[in-house]
């Protein structure tokens, strides 16, 4: 059985988000109860990205970690969907976390991602570090891979891919079959790959193609393709906009100004489509009330400036 | 010709950004929802500020400063600021009008050419108490260069980094440090004969 059948649609997610702000413990799957999908408490993440950079090179970026306990706050609300969210306060998933000292990680053993041209073993990070969403992880408890030129090797568009862990005493070996689906390759319409000047006090509209909506190119059942735009920088996204993928996102002027206040020298403009698949976590005690977020993304990472 | 030296870039570097400046004292940028980019006239001298580096905490600025290569496909340097005697602002809100304005810009020291032609505006985040009893940035910030500045134009060059800080009472202070740009500790594209930025 494909594990993504446990997921809910992002449409359901969106309505759930609005109603649960500030609720820091969603509870969940006690014996006999139903897994809450996007509404379940956090159990970790596997995120794979196919990234096209401004110079046309293509890379793979992967991050993963798993929690035995995410800390005192078990559930951080999702960003607004549809809409734009100020991420600078670190109140929303995926950037919000409890302090690293208050989190307990699970050891997954070795993590591999298959289904692309090659199988990727995601390197364990042996030093404390900060991932690209500005989340600090303790040494040996996070996995990260980045290669700016091997995008065609590991992440494949319009393809189901699987993730496997070899496990440990508290987190048994398991394979998450067909848990990732990467959206179709799309083209930027306007603006293109070059640096994008983002003036203060003005709405900004971005457009791109939507091949996932073409006949014969629809995602498999259980997956919904969403679009995302982020004004990002060295401390992660300042503003995150997420909508159903209709080929256009307009960022309101107020959000533009927040991005400029955070990154007055500009930064990285992320334009992407993605599929997000929450899977019920199973540890050595059996099924838990926590979710693992599996996310696969087709992304352009270019630069923006703040004139 | 460009040779891409690959492999994993560290997560912190990954998230790297874009970068800084224009002519000294210029304030051509339009106002935003939280006030003007930079005042035409700075206020009276107030407090002190020290320009340093360091991501997690303030560190003294070294003579040789490794650059970062970020996801914007360009280079940046990490700056941090320790200050006292000025209003630190409200760490809970980046759009609080009480937050100070911290403008940090980088220039080639020998020519005064800015490393980010467009960047005139300040960081608007508040400061947090430091272990030494004054205030510092909550995290170091990337001073991002235009992506047309490639490795062959940067590594080994002397870069002047200028700090200006103004609080909500218009109290003003500044600092400046000159460093030699060192190669990033993580992989980055190695360029040769790049034209540099032209404005």
Write the pLDDT tens digit of every residue in A203-229: 999 999 999 888 778 899 999 999 999
Q: What is the percentage of chain A residues whose pLDDT exceeds 90?
A: 83
User: By CA distance, what is A301's nearest residue in B?
Assistant: B72
Asked if this assembly's ipTM is beyond 0.95, the reply is no
Which pLDDT score is estimated for B110? 97
Which pLDDT score is estimated for B118? 86
What are the residues whose beta carbons fall under 8 Å from the beta carbon of A216, sequence distance 6 or more?
A: none
Q: Is A170 helix (H, G, I), strand (E, B) or coil?
A: coil
Task: Kindly list the residues from chain A whose CB atom is less than 8 angstroms away from the CB atom of residue B70.
Answer: 234, 268
Q: Chain B window 121-160: which residues touch A at a Cβ cutoff of 8 Å? A: 121-125, 139, 141-144, 146-147
Q: How far is B7 from chain A (nearest CA, A)?
A: 5
Q: Chain B window 17-76: which residues touch A at a Cβ cutoff of 8 Å? A: 17-21, 29-34, 37, 55, 68, 70-74, 76
pLDDT band of residue A33 (cuts 50, 70, 90) is low
Q: How far is A292 from chain B (nearest CA, A)?
A: 21
pLDDT band of residue A26 (cuts 50, 70, 90) is very low
* Dihedral in degrees, nearest 10, Cα atoms A273, A19, A176, A295: 20
Which pLDDT score is estimated for B56? 87
Q: What is the percentage of chain A residues whose pLDDT exceeds 70?
A: 89
Series of mean pLDDT values for 10-residue runs along chain B (199 residues): 32 28 34 68 94 94 96 92 97 92 97 93 95 93 95 98 95 98 91 94
Contact criterion met (CB < 8 Å) for A304 and B18 = yes
Question: Mean of the pLDDT values across residues A268-274?
Answer: 97
Which pLDDT score is estimated for B35? 62
Q: Write down the H helix ranges in chain A.
A: 10-19, 151-154, 253-262
Out of A4-8, A82-86, A107-111, A251-255, pick the least confident: A4-8
Structure tokens at A294: 């599996």
Question: Mean of the pLDDT values across residues A18-38?
Answer: 54
Task: Kindly list the residues from chain B whose CB atom is less than 8 angstroms away from the CB atom of residue A130.
Answer: 11-12, 15, 55
Structure tokens at B159: 């870069």
Residue A260 sits at φ, ψ, to 5 deg, of -70, -35
Q: Write down the H helix ranges in chain B.
A: 11-14, 151-154
Which pLDDT score is estimated for B26? 35
pTM for the complete prediction? 0.85
Question: Mean of the pLDDT values across residues A80-108?
Answer: 97
Structure tokens at A166: 């070899």
Which pLDDT score is estimated for B10? 29
Mean pLDDT of chain A: 89
Provide the pairing of β-strand A129-130 with A136-137: antiparallel
Residue A49: C-alpha distances to residues A28, A152, A167, B74, B161 (Å): 29, 11, 24, 19, 34
Task: Kindly list the residues from chain A whose CB atom is less than 8 angstroms away from the CB atom of residue B74.
Answer: 303
Residue A18 sits at φ, ψ, to 5 deg, of -60, -35
Contact criterion met (CB < 8 Å) for B31 and A304 = no
pLDDT(A5) > 90? no
CB A212 within 8 A of CB A225: yes
What are the residues whose beta carbons fall under 8 Å from the beta carbon of A1, sequence distance 6 or more?
A: none
Which candidate, B109, B76, B111, places its Cα nearest to that of B179? B109
User: By CA distance, what is B20's nearest residue in A?
Assistant: A265
User: By CA distance, what is B30's nearest residue in A?
Assistant: A200
Q: How far is A119 from chain B (nearest CA, A)?
A: 16
Contact criterion met (CB < 8 Å) for B37 and A200 = yes
User: Which DSSP string do the residues of A101-167 spell out, in sequence order?
Assistant: GG-EE----SEEEESSSSPEEPPEE-S-EE-TTS-EE-TTSEEEEEETT-HHHH--TTEEEEEEE--
pLDDT band of residue A92 (cuts 50, 70, 90) is very high
Give the dihedral sign, CA A136/A139/A141/A144: positive
pLDDT(A16) > 80? no
With tokens 């404005």, the residue in question is B199
Burial of B105 (0-12, 13-18, 19+ CB in 10 A): buried
pLDDT(A62) > 70? yes
Q: Convert the pLDDT of each residue in B92-147 to its tens digit.
A: 999 899 999 999 999 999 999 999 998 889 999 999 999 888 999 999 999 999 99
Task: Kindly list the residues from chain B whose CB atom is less than 8 angstroms away from the CB atom of residue A258.
Answer: 94-95
How many residue pairs from chains A and B have C-beta atoms closer than 8 A?
Answer: 181
Helix (H) or strand (E) segment spanning residue A190: strand A188-190
């Amino acid at each position: 059985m494909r594990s993504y059948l446990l997921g809910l649609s992002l449409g359901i997610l969106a309505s759930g988000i609005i109603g649960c702000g500030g609720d820091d413990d969603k509870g969940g799957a006690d014996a006999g109860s139903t897994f809450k999908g996007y509404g379940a408490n956090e159990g970790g993440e596997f995120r794979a990205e196919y990234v096209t950079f401004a110079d046309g090179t293509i890379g793979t970026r992967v991050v993963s970690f798993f929690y035995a306990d995410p800390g005192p706050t078990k559930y951080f609300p999702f960003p607004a969907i549809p809409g734009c969210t100020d991420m600078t306060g670190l109140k929303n998933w995926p950037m919000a976390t409890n302090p690293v000292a208050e989190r307990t990680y699970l050891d997954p053993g070795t993590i591999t991602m298959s289904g692309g041209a090659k199988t990727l073993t995601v390197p364990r990070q042996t030093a404390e570090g900060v991932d690209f969403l500005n989340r600090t992880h303790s040494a040996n408890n996070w996995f990260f891979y980045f290669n700016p030129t091997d995008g065609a090797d590991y992440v494949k568009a319009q393809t189901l891919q699987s993730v496997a862990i070899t496990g440990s005493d508290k987190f048994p070996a398991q394979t998450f079959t067909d848990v990732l689906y990467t959206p179709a390759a799309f083209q930027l319409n306007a603006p293109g790959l070059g640096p994008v000047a983002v003036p203060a006090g003005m709405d900004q509209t971005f457009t791109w193609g939507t091949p996932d909506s073409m006949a014969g190119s629809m995602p498999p059942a259980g997956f919904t393709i969403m679009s995302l735009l982020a004004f990002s920088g060295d401390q992660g996204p300042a503003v995150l906009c997420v909508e159903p993928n209709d080929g256009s996102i307009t960022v309101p002027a107020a959000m533009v100004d927040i991005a400029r206040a955070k990154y007055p020298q500009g930064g990285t403009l992320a334009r992407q489509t993605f599929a997000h698949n929450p899977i019920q976590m199973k540890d050595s005690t059996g099924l838990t009330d926590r979710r693992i977020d599996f996310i696969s993304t087709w992304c352009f990472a270019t630069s923006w400036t703040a004139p | 010709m460009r040779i891409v030296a690959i492999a994993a870039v560290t997560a912190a570097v990954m998230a790297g950004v874009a970068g800084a400046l224009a002519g000294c004292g210029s304030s051509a940028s339009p106002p935003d929802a939280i006030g003007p980019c930079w005042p035409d006239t700075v206020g009276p001298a107030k407090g002190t500020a020290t320009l340093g580096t360091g991501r997690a905490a303030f560190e003294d600025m070294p003579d040789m400063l490794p650059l970062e290569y970020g996801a914007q496909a360009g280079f940046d340097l990490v700056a941090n600021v320790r200050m006292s005697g000025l209003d630190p602002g409200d760490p809970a809100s980046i759009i609080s009008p009480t937050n100070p304005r911290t403008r940090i810009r980088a220039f080639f020291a020998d020519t005064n050419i800015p490393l980010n032609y467009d960047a005139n505006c300040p960081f608007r985040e508040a400061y947090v108490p430091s272990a030494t009893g004054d205030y510092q940035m909550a995290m170091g910030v990337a001073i991002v260069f235009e992506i047309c500045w490639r490795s062959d134009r940067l590594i080994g060059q002397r870069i002047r980094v200028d700090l200006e800080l103004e609080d909500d009472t218009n109290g003003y202070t500044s600092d400046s440090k000159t460093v030699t740009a060192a190669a990033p500790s993580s992989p980055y594209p190695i360029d040769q004969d790049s034209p540099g930025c032209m404005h």
